[in-house]
Amino acid sequence: MSKIFNTTNVQLLGGTFGLERETLRVTADGSMAQSPHPFPNDSHIVKDFCENQAEINTGVHNTAQGAIDELSEHSKRLTEALDKRGERLWLYSNPPAIKSADDIPVAVYEGDEQGKHNYRLYLAEKYGKYKMTLSGIHVNYSLSEEMLLYSFPHSSSSDFVQFKNHAYLQLAQGLLEYGWLINLLLSASPVCDGSYFSSDRLGETVLTDYASVRCGKEGYWNTFTPILYYDDILKYAGSIQRYLNSGTLAGVGELYYPIRLKPKGANRLNNLVRNGVNHIELRNIDINPFAKSGLDVRDLQFIELLCLWIYTNYKDKLSYTNQIRMAENLKIAALYDIDSTTINGKETLRESGLRVLSEMKAFYGETELIKYQIQKLTEPGKRYAERVSDSLKKNYTLDNLSRNN
C-alpha cells in the first residue's frame, strides 16, 4: 500500500477538509463583548457556548488551501462587522480577562431551538463557564474515496461501506496513539490572564506549565476517560450509547474527545450506524495567532500527511488500558517543557517528536511540510508556544490587542 504514496501523488490521493474555528469577541480594551451575536442568520458564522463566542464554519474543500481561504473569508467578514461595533476577535485559545461569570452569557436560543440553550446551561453547571471559553479549531478530514476504492479490492471485506468504516476506525485508533504529535507541534496557548484561575488574579499575566491549556490535564476534557470499542462501527456507536444511557453524557456532542468519527449530516449515532463514517474530526488544534485565519495551511497539510501515514502503516488495536494511556499522552504533550517531560516513560517529548517525524520523512521523502515541523523542534523559538510566551509575557491583554491592530 505504501507504494502508492510519494511526494508527487500524495496530493492527488488527498482527501477533503472542513474547518470550524471558535473565537471570542472582545471590546477595544480586551473585555468580553456583551453585545448580541452579529450574524444571527448565517450558517457560516454562528454562536457557540456563549453569546460572545463565535464559531466560523467552512464548507468541504478538496485542498487544505481552499479550506483555509474560506476560513479567512468568513473571518474577514466577522472582523469587519465587529469593527463597526468597536469590537475585535480575540486571537488566542485562552480567554481574555474575565471579571466574573457574568462576562460569559450563555448563548440564547428560543422557540424550537430552546433545547440548545438548556443544553448549554447544563454544560455551564457541569464544567463551569470559564472552561467553556477555551477556544480552538476543529479539523474535519475525509479520506480520499479514490484511495479507498484503490485499497478495497486488496482487502478481505466484501462490502465497501464496511471496509470504509474499518479504515476510519483504524485511523481513529492511530490518531489516538499519535495525536500527541499535533499537540506538541501546534500548541499555542501557554499564557493566561490570572482571572481564569482565580478572581483575585484579574489582570495578572500568567505563564502556565502548558503549551496548550485547553489540551492539558485541566483543559477541555470530560470528567472521565471514555473507553470506546473500535471492532466495528456498531460497537463503536454502542460504546458511546452506553454513556448516554447511564446519563454520563447528555448528548453525543458532549463527548469531549480529541478524535471523533462522524457521519454525513446530523451527528447522531443511528445515522453513523446506518450510513457509515463520513469523516474524522480532530479537536486538539489551538488557534494560531501568527496565521491570518488562525491556522497555518502548512499545519493543515501536515495533519493530512499524518493521517495518510497512519492509514497506511497503523494496524494495531488499542487495548482499553492503552486507550487510557494514550489519552494521558495527549495531555502530557500539551505541556510547555518538552525536554524534561517524557512520554510513555521513555523518550522526552522533543526526542519522540523528532523520531516520529523522521519516520514520516523516510516514508514520504524530502518534503517542505515535514521540514517545517522538524524546525519547530530543532530551532529555538520556532514552536508557536515559545513565540506566544515571548510576545505576551509582559501583558497578556495589551500585547494581544496590539497584535490585533
* Residue 7 pLDDT greater than 50, yes or no: no
139-179 per-position pLDDT tens digit: 999 999 988 998 899 888 889 999 999 999 999 999 999 99
Confidence check: pLDDT of 248 > 50: yes
Quick one: pLDDT at residue 299? 98
| Residue-averaged pLDDT of the chain | 93
How confident is the model at residue 201, as a pLDDT?
Answer: 95
Question: Contact at 8 Å (CB) between 135 and 22?
Answer: yes
Query: What secondary structure letter does DSSP report for 144?
Result: -
Residue 156: CA count within 13 A, CB half-sphere: 1
The pLDDT of residue 2 is 43
Residue 240: all three cell numbers together: 458511546
Grid cell, residue 256, equals 469531549
The CA angle 374-212-203, to the nearest 5 degrees, is 130
Does residue 9 surpass a pLDDT of 60? no
**Containing H/E element for 399?**
helix 396-404
| C-beta atoms surrounding 355 within 10 Å | 11
Phi and psi at 352, nearest 5°, equal -65, -40
C-alpha span between 35 and 54 (Å, rounded):
12
pLDDT of residue 37: 94
Name the CATH code of domain 2-404 (choices 2.60.120.260, 3.90.650.10, 3.30.590.20, 3.90.79.10): 3.30.590.20
The pLDDT of 295-318, averaged and rounded, is 94
pLDDT at 315: 87
Q: Per-residue pLDDT tens for 266-293?
A: 999 999 999 999 999 999 999 999 999 9
Percent of the chain with pLDDT over 70: 95
Residue pair 304/14 in contact (Cβ under 8 Å)? The answer is: yes
Helix axes of 64-83 and 297-313: crossing angle, nearest 10 degrees: 140
User: Can you give the pLDDT at residue 3?
Assistant: 43
Q: Among 117-121, 155-159, 212-216, 381-385, whose mean pLDDT is lowest? A: 155-159
Contact between residue 369 and residue 301 where contact means Cβ atoms under 8 Å apart: yes
